Amino acid sequence: MAMKTLPVQEAFVLVEELDLPPEYAWFNELNAEERSEFFKGLLEILIARKEDLALPDGRPRSRMAALDEYIRGWQATVEIESSPELLEAIQRGLDDARHGRFVSQEEVEEFLRDV
């Protein structure tokens, strides 16, 4: 049986605010395109072969661990994107790195000892 592809505006789950538990309320911050990408990635994990779920270093990872990591990644992205201050701080850090403005590990360790 062929599956019908709905236009984005017709796909309820892509556009409506959903009544979700507080720990998943971040999902409502996603726009239709982001929700579509979220579900695409979710389905990729659900149908992936076990060996495709392995960590980058080759260690095995359970499907539940992969799903948890995926969902936490989306949650963190939404939290970062919803904070102008955090986005600005990240941008400053990226600019500093691009221009060679950074501190050494020793300087960080010294700073942490003094805190």
pLDDT at 78: 94
> Alpha-carbon distance 8 to 32, whole Å?
7
pLDDT at 74: 97
CB-CB contact of 36 with 8 (8 Å): yes
pTM value > 0.75: no
User: Residue-wise pLDDT tens for the chain (115 aa)?
Assistant: 565 665 655 567 888 898 999 999 999 999 999 999 999 999 999 999 999 999 999 999 999 999 999 999 999 999 998 999 998 999 998 999 899 888 889 998 998 998 8
Q: Indicate the helix (H) or strand (E) that contains 57.
A: none
Structure tokens at 112: 């942490």
